[in-house]
Structure formats: C-alpha cells, structure tokens
C-alpha cells in the first residue's frame, strides 16, 4: 500500500494525486491529466516522491493510453536529475521494466514523437545521460571536455556537416576537424543497442548520429583523438 501522506508532489502536498489518478483511470478527463502532469513533473526535469508512487498505476494505464505512457516516461527520464530518488526508483523496478516493453512496442510503430519515446526507453534502461542529450535535429551539437587538454570540444552532428570544433563567439566554427564515425560492427553494449533499434525502425539520421557519438573525434587544440561516448559517459557517471 502506498503511504500517500509521505508522498509530496510539486505543490508540496499529496492529497490530490490519488484522486487525480482515480479520475484519469475512470475516463478521458483532460483537466485531471493536466493537473496530474503539473504536479508530477512541472515541465522541468524534476520528479517528486509522489511521481514514483503514481508510476505503477500510470504504467497499468500506459498500454492503452499514450498520455499515461508519456507521463510515466517523463517521470523515469527526469529521475536522474532528482536527488534521493534511488530507493523510490528501486521499488518501481517491475513497472519500469513493463514501461520499457510498452515504449519499445510504440517505437516499432514509428510514432511522430519517435525521439522522445526513444529517450524515455533509454531512461527505463538506466541510460539517463543519453536519455537527456540525444538529439536528431539537423544541427545537433554535443559538448565534452577534451581528455588531454583543458578545452571544451563541441561535436556537431548535423545533416549537412559532422565535425569537431572549439565553439567561440565567432560564427561558423572556423576550426573544424572531420569526425571518424564507428562502423556498426565496432559498436557494442548500449551503442550497439541504440544503433540497432534506430535502424530497425528506419530512423537512419538517428542511427548516423549514434555511429558518430560512438566514433572518434579530434580535439582542434591538441590533436588528441578520443571517443565522445567514453568521455561523455565518464563525465556523467553517477557519484557513488
Ligand atoms: Zn585537447
């Protein structure tokens, strides 16, 4: 049984959440959905104890209701940005596994909001940092510190150009270095899974971004070659 007395939401109280869950479970109630979304995620990357307490019921609705799927996905994705949620997340393990299955099923149907769903799915697999940054826009850019000298290297992985640079105030990224993408065969673990999922669903620009993220980049300052994904994962590893 959930002890709702302990489960505050974005407004600092908990009394409304169980009632709102009853209302959205009953039928389509747009006002109740809006209030539930505000109370459990407030639009910012934040979740609250009440968000996790609501998760099992949201996941039960999620098979037939895309709005429940969205909200549940966002709660899991934002979990990494919220201090002290580890125990609450652990209690939701079975719901998160089931949510992952539903999200994967949704991806196979190639929804319009594919990237959002993909990022939610990454979060259900505890790949929170990829869930937070993965982009598929025409001018996606990713920043990471060079492992060999003290500069921030930006990788631009757009549809027209892929290069590493040191981004300054000047326009056009004057100093560019060509990226060296991984071949699909070189990918393993999360990178391979991300790539194979994107290819399975016909998302070729996303697959192309993934082989670049898991490939090598050159630092324009010191000419060191490094793998963005390794540096990025190390920089975002949770403190233990
Ligand atoms: Zn460097």
pLDDT in tens, the chain (240 residues): 566 666 677 666 777 888 889 888 877 688 888 888 888 886 666 677 788 889 999 999 999 999 999 999 998 888 766 666 677 778 889 999 999 999 999 999 999 999 999 999 999 998 888 988 898 877 899 999 999 999 999 999 988 889 999 998 777 887 899 999 999 999 999 999 999 999 999 999 999 999 999 999 999 999 999 999 998 888 776 554
- Distance (angstroms) between ligand 1 centre and the Cα of 166 equals 10
CA distance 158 to 160: 5
- Provide the CA 191 distance to its chain's centre, in angstroms: 14
- Taking the centre of ligand 1 as the mean of its atom positions, its distance from the CA of residue 224, in whole angstroms, is 6
Structure tokens at 119: 């990022």
Ligand 1: distance of its center to the CA of 151 in Å? Answer: 6
Those residues whose beta carbon sits under 5 angstroms from the ion ligand 1 are: 146, 148-149, 219, 221-222, 224
Please give the distance, rounded to the nearest whole angstrom, from the Cα atom of residue 137 to the centre of ligand 1. 26
Q: Domain map of the chain by residue range?
A: 4-133, 139-235
Contacts of 56 (CB under 8 A, 6+ apart): 92, 94, 95
Q: Which residues 6+ apart lie within 8 Å of 79 measured at CB?
A: 47, 52, 85, 89, 123, 128
Please give the distance, rounded to the nearest whole angstrom, from the Cα atom of residue 167 to the centre of ligand 1. 13
CA distance 49 to 41: 11
Cα–Cα dist 156/160, whole Å = 10
**pLDDT for res 221:** 95
- State the Cα–Cα distance between residues 31 and 39, nearest whole angstrom: 12
CA 157 to centroid of ligand 1, rounded, Å: 19
Give the DSSP H or E segment for 191: helix 189-200
CB 74 within 8 A of CB 55: no
CA 230–ligand 1 middle distance (angstroms): 15
Q: What are phi and psi of 178, to 5 degrees?
A: -65, 135
Say what the pLDDT of residue 46 is: 67
44: phi then psi, degrees, rounded to nearest 5: -90, 165
Report the predicted TM-score, pTM, of the whole model to 2 decimal places.
0.87
Distance 113 CA to ligand 1 centre (A): 36
The predicted structure's pLDDT at residue 240: 44
Quick check: helix, strand or coil at residue 116? helix
Nearest to 136 by CA among 120, 116, 166: 116
Q: Retrieve residue 157's tokens.
A: 């992985």
Output the CA 169–ligand 1 centroid distance in Å: 19
Q: What is the predicted pLDDT for the residue at 52?
A: 85
In the numeric block, which tokens belong to residue 61?
A: 């609705």
């Amino acid at each position: 049984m959930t002890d709702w007395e302990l489960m505050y939401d974005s407004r600092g109280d908990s009394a409304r959440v169980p009632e709102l869950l009853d209302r959205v479970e009953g039928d389509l109630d747009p006002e109740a959905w809006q209030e539930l979304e505000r109370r459990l995620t407030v639009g910012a990357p934040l979740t609250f104890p009440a968000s996790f307490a609501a998760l099992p019921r949201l996941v039960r609705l999620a098979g037939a209701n895309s709005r429940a799927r969205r909200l549940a996905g966002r709660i899991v994705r934002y979990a990494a940005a919220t201090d002290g949620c580890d125990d609450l997340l652990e209690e939701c393990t079975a719901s998160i596994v089931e949510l992952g299955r539903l999200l994967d099923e949704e991806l196979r149907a190639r929804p319009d909001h594919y990237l959002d769903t993909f990022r939610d799915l990454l979060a259900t697999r505890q790949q929170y940092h990829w869930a937070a940054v993965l982009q598929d826009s025409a001018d996606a850019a990713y920043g990471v510190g060079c492992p060999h000298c003290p500069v921030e290297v930006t990788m631009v992985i757009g549809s027209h150009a892929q290069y590493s640079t040191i981004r300054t105030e000047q326009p056009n990224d004057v100093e560019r270095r060509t990226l060296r993408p991984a071949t699909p065969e070189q990918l393993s673990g999360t990178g391979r899974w991300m790539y194979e999922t994107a290819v399975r669903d016909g998302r070729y620009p996303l697959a192309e971004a993934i082989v670049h993220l898991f490939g090598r980049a050159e630092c324009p300052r010191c000419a060191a070659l490094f793998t963005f994904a390794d540096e990025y994962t190390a920089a975002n590893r949770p403190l233990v």
